[in-house]
Structure 1
Amino acid sequence: MRQLQCDLLIVGAGPAGMSAAIEARAAGLNVAIADEGEAPGGQIYRNAAQSPLADASVLGDDYLAGRGLIERFAGCGATYLARSVVWQIAHENRQVTAMLTRRPHDATGGTLEVAARAVLIATGAQERPWPVRGWTLPGVMGVGAAQTLLKSSGLAPAQDAVLAGSGPLLWLFASQLLAAGRRVRAIIDTTPRHAWRAALPHALPALAGADYLLKGWRMLRAVKRSGIPVYRGASGLSIEGDTRAERVGLVDASGARQVIDTSLVLLHQGVIPSTQLPRSLGCEHEWDASSACWRPRTDARGRSSIPQVWIAGDGAGIGGAKAATLAGTLAALDIAREFGALDAALHDTRRAPAQRALTRHLAVRPLLDALYTPPRALRRPDDDVTVCRCEEVSAGEIRRIAALGCQGPNQMKAFSRCGMGPCQGRWCGTTVGELIAQVQRRSVADVGYYRIRAPIKPVTVDDIADSITLDDDFERGEFPS
């Protein structure tokens, strides 16, 4: 096992992580940044520096703008640990120690222990799980996963693909495909027709982020002009097929049942913060009813409830790439001041413009949350729908156990193995909490979430064994020892 020491460890090299590294290095801090990707950029700027597409402009101006951030990060002097899976972080005696495994296991790979004075978690967001009938069939995947394939390998979905769900990313990906010369068979929009009424009170404040609204209007206009069939106000979505996806059924706004033949269904119901890593550290979290998801409890500087732990970007609350960049800058400035690398006056001078810009970029979020947060009917599946994909536990089984008095997700895990698979609850945790709350007529905040234990990501026993330091006088005992 190799060891590394630094002032600041950043987990995730997306917009928040890169901007934090740039600012922390400018203040003179020794920075290491661990990232699972092959190159910096995160999901939003994946392969922005070296796109496999012949014309990367089809992905939009916002994507191309990431190249400047990546270039500044590359020149800032931070230690960049690519292909690194952080699977444990411990906090003790005002020091943070992280265990990570680098792939492949070559001269620079293997298990690495990083000791830091502080850690900034910038792990971003994940797609919101959307359990519907047939979502476990081959030929069904998330829009985010399909976009990753487009950015990383230049692979576009087949032209008989159907996009289903709601949220800005659904329309962004559709417009990106159109710009690349690729059509899809249909778009199924599950946004309730009455959602505009709930969003209307937030319209005037959202004008502060008029550039976001204009971009959204352009995406919707591009889809409309393309002639792709759009089923608005859809409900009752189900994916059918014997051994793989063959068709998708829905109830349209008029109440009529529609069936669309397809070999590929791309699902999306927005994104939610990735909370596994801060949860493993014991950071406090809260249920955000406006966006129906859990988020870590942080202050305006990104400080969590645990000393020496900051959280920035979409992992602290969904705000988009530009907001994440600014949040990373603000967190790094606060860390630098905490360590005495910046005096109060210089900190305040640098902080003020970033804070004003962040406020402007977040102005549109209440409108988007009101418009695109899926209603309870979409978040609480029918009894025959699989919720835990790893252990194949259905919504009906979860409801049955909840009716017996199961108090929360952790007890549900013991009774049903729900959440015990490789994803450690990433794809069932929010749904399980909502189902228990529904049956027992409690709030989701009261029901809670899984306790997350290391390893945070799947690693081999060899990786774990390599992380254990043995004293020179260690002697192996007889079994059982």
Structure 2
Amino acid sequence: MSAAPKHDEYDVVVIGAGPAGLAAAEMTAGAALSTLLLDENAGPGGQVWRAIDATPLKSEALLGADYWSGKQLVNAARDSGAEIIHRATVWSLDRNLEIGVSVAGGSAFIKAKRVIIATGAQERPFPIPGWTLPGVMTAGAAQTMLKSSGLVPDCPTILAGQGPLLWLLAAQILRLGGRIDRILDTTPRANYIAALAHALAFLTSPYFGKGLAMMREVRAKVRVTSGVTELVAEGEGKLSAVSYATAGGKRETLAAELLLLHQGVVPNVNLAMAAGVEHRWNELQLCWTPVLDALGNSSIPGIAIAGDGAGIGGAQAAVVRGRRAAGDAIKALRPHAKVIDRAAELARAERGRTFLDVLFQPAKQFRIPQGDTIVCRCEEITAKDVLDSVAIGATGPNQLKAYRRTGMGPCQGRLCGLTVTELMAEARGKTPQEIGYYRLRAPVKPIMLSELAGLPKTEEATKAVVRG
């Protein structure tokens, strides 16, 4: 069981123990700043290095050298003197840098002089017909099971979608002796032409060699169907088949008991948005990203955002962004401290990223569903329901809540927010920026009412709860 924070106030509070958060906490604690690192998972690493302390897969060849490279940073963060608490749910953050955190069934408010949000990325919604059937999972969920428990599919399995994680997961499943019957690649063919303008930077980046080797490894063992333009999960009560069509007109139905979906990752913005950080629609990555300066500082003084939560850049870039945000916090709190300028290091880590963003930009039909396809899984709201609400006056995601309760379930919009924004924008002839996103408030994660009732009955604590 995790212990509650030792103090009520810290110089720096880092939220998230993935690559960016670990790097930031190790630096600020090493500079003699009191540092608290809060993470929701049972151990450090985030999704990239998930279960790095506990995975039963000890052979480097199975998960790859990039996975095990995180061990050094995990150890450095532990040795830095930072206070690290796992299984800690941060459910509130406000402009006064007051943080609501739930640990072991009890909640408390803590204060910080600087906050670094390193909550990373989440998988982009992939709303296709039948995606709510038992037997349909995200690739990220499958990878979590693989890393944490060594579990891989042994039944008829289809991987569908696009992006680096899809190929990485396929390679890892195959190395562990798992079963993959087919990969359905949804990368639009037009994307290959559009990405050519950015190919030189990609060819000279670390991504190229690793990615090419991994795709060759997978293609040698699994049949890959490219140019997929339609995708349907079928079954009565559970998944039994996957139907698809390609740009060339081919149609086929494949028997399947497991469908793993993935079409990239997007920043996990809920906590930052609830705190009031300004965000803008990113036309390249097709998602919301925070408005930040070069060092990761947000529109709220004292709050910085690092890692993929600042915009998708990958693990290496996340580490550098974490260190840049930490360096700025150190300079703010220790004005005479010497901090390394990491601009060139970040540029190297992000080299080739634009190529990947253009190449793996998801097709419109896999982002903006139609008809009876479920959009909001929590409330079982379909695309037609959303459009019907627009027709009778819903102008944006927040107004839609009153009509359909979208975004008001346990996930607080994580699985429907982007879809709702783009669906409503198209229906109203507006841009996603004009349509906007859900107005997020604390608690951004579910907590027990008893925890709120047990908070100190001070005037400030009461105001914090009311603000949520």
Paired with 1:434 and 1:419, the residues of 2 have a C-alpha distance of 14
5 Å-filtered alignment, 1:195-210, equals 195-209=191-205
What is the match of residue 443 of structure 2?
455
What is the match of residue 173 of structure 2?
177
Over the matched positions of the two proteins, sequence identity in percent amounts to 43
Paired with 2:241 and 2:60, the residues of 1 have a C-alpha distance of 32
Give the alignment partner of residue 139 of structure 1, picking from 135, 140, 154.
Answer: 135
Give deviations 1:114-150, integer Å, cap 9, x for gaps.
2111111000000000100000011111000100011
Q: What amino acid does structure 1 have at the position aligned with 2:200? A: L
For the pair 1:373 / 2:361, whether they are aligned, the reply is: yes
Paired with 1:45 and 1:368, the residues of 2 have a C-alpha distance of 21
What is the match of residue 129 of structure 1?
125
**1:247·1:262 contact (CA, 8 Å) conserved in 2?**
yes
What is the match of residue 226 of structure 2?
232
What is the match of residue 51 of structure 1?
55
TM-score (norm 2): 0.95
For the pair 1:223 / 2:211, whether they are aligned, the reply is: no
What is the match of residue 190 of structure 2?
194
What is the match of residue 241 of structure 1?
235
Paired with 2:84 and 2:251, the residues of 1 have a C-alpha distance of 52
What is the match of residue 254 of structure 1?
248
What is the match of residue 266 of structure 1?
260
Q: What amino acid does structure 2 have at the position aligned with 1:195? A: N
What is the match of residue 434 of structure 2?
446
Root-mean-square deviation (CA), in Å? 1.5
Cα gap change, 1:395/1:439 in structure 2, threshold over 3 Å: closer, same or farther?
same
Give the alignment partner of residue 82 of structure 1, picking from 83, 86, 89.
Answer: 86
Give deviations 1:98-128, integer Å, cap 9, x for gaps.
111113x4xxxx2232211111100000000
Which segments of structure 1 move beyond 3 Å, counting only runs of 4 or more? none
Cα gap change, 1:80/1:287 in structure 2, threshold over 3 Å: closer, same or farther?
same
**2:88·2:103 contact (CA, 8 Å) conserved in 1?**
yes
Paired with 1:215 and 1:56, the residues of 2 have a C-alpha distance of 15
Paired with 2:225 and 2:407, the residues of 1 have a C-alpha distance of 34
5 Å-filtered alignment, 1:147-158, equals 147-158=143-154
Give deviations 1:185-234, integer Å, cap 9, x for gaps.
1111000122110100001122341x2111110111001111x1211001
- In the TM superposition, residue 358 of structure 1 has moved relative to its aligned partner by 1.1
Give the alignment partner of residue 39 of structure 2, picking from 35, 38, 44.
Answer: 35
Paired with 2:60 and 2:384, the residues of 1 have a C-alpha distance of 45
How many residue pairs get aligned? The number is 456
Give the alignment partner of residue 298 of structure 2, picking from 292, 304, 323.
Answer: 304
What is the match of residue 399 of structure 1?
387
5 Å-filtered alignment, 1:315-326, equals 315-326=309-320
**1:208·1:360 contact (CA, 8 Å) conserved in 2?**
no
For the pair 1:276 / 2:264, whether they are aligned, the reply is: no
- In the TM superposition, residue 435 of structure 1 has moved relative to its aligned partner by 0.8
Report the 3-state secondary structure (helix = DSSP H, G, I; strand = E; otherwise coil) of the residue aligned with 2:438: coil
Q: What amino acid does structure 2 have at the position aligned with 1:62? A: D
Paired with 1:213 and 1:464, the residues of 2 have a C-alpha distance of 49
**2:152·2:179 contact (CA, 8 Å) conserved in 1?**
no
Report the 3-state secondary structure (helix = DSSP H, G, I; strand = E; otherwise coil) of the residue aligned with 1:369: helix
Q: What amino acid does structure 1 have at the position aligned with 2:100? A: M
**1:126·1:272 contact (CA, 8 Å) conserved in 2?**
yes
Give the alignment partner of residue 384 of structure 1, picking from 369, 372, 377.
Answer: 372
Report the 3-state secondary structure (helix = DSSP H, G, I; strand = E; otherwise coil) of the residue aligned with 1:87: strand
Report the 3-state secondary structure (helix = DSSP H, G, I; strand = E; otherwise coil) of the residue aligned with 2:453: helix
What is the match of residue 465 of structure 2?
none
Paired with 1:91 and 1:293, the residues of 2 have a C-alpha distance of 24
Give the alignment partner of residue 63 of structure 1, picking from 61, 67, 75.
Answer: 67
- In the TM superposition, residue 179 of structure 1 has moved relative to its aligned partner by 1.9
**2:57·2:63 contact (CA, 8 Å) conserved in 1?**
no
Segments of structure 2 that go 5 or more residues without pairing to the other structure are 463-468
What is the match of residue 435 of structure 1?
423
**2:191·2:361 contact (CA, 8 Å) conserved in 1?**
no
- In the TM superposition, residue 51 of structure 1 has moved relative to its aligned partner by 1.9
Paired with 1:414 and 1:342, the residues of 2 have a C-alpha distance of 52
Q: What amino acid does structure 2 have at the position aligned with 1:292? A: L
What is the match of residue 97 of structure 1?
98
Q: What amino acid does structure 1 have at the position aligned with 2:29? A: R
Paired with 1:207 and 1:7, the residues of 2 have a C-alpha distance of 42
Paired with 2:441 and 2:52, the residues of 1 have a C-alpha distance of 34
Q: What amino acid does structure 2 have at the position aligned with 1:101? A: S
**1:11·1:34 contact (CA, 8 Å) conserved in 2?**
yes
Report the 3-state secondary structure (helix = DSSP H, G, I; strand = E; otherwise coil) of the residue aligned with 2:107: strand
Paired with 1:355 and 1:177, the residues of 2 have a C-alpha distance of 36
Paired with 2:184 and 2:347, the residues of 1 have a C-alpha distance of 33
Paired with 2:427 and 2:95, the residues of 1 have a C-alpha distance of 37
Paired with 1:177 and 1:358, the residues of 2 have a C-alpha distance of 31
Give deviations 1:415-435, integer Å, cap 9, x for gaps.
111111011111111110101
TM-score (norm 1): 0.92
Paired with 2:202 and 2:423, the residues of 1 have a C-alpha distance of 33
Q: What amino acid does structure 2 have at the position aligned with 1:324? A: A
What is the match of residue 159 of structure 2?
163
- In the TM superposition, residue 270 of structure 1 has moved relative to its aligned partner by 0.2
Paired with 1:371 and 1:203, the residues of 2 have a C-alpha distance of 10
What is the match of residue 405 of structure 2?
417
Report the 3-state secondary structure (helix = DSSP H, G, I; strand = E; otherwise coil) of the residue aligned with 2:69: helix
Name the stretch that deviates more: 110-119 or 380-389. 110-119
- In the TM superposition, residue 54 of structure 1 has moved relative to its aligned partner by 4.5
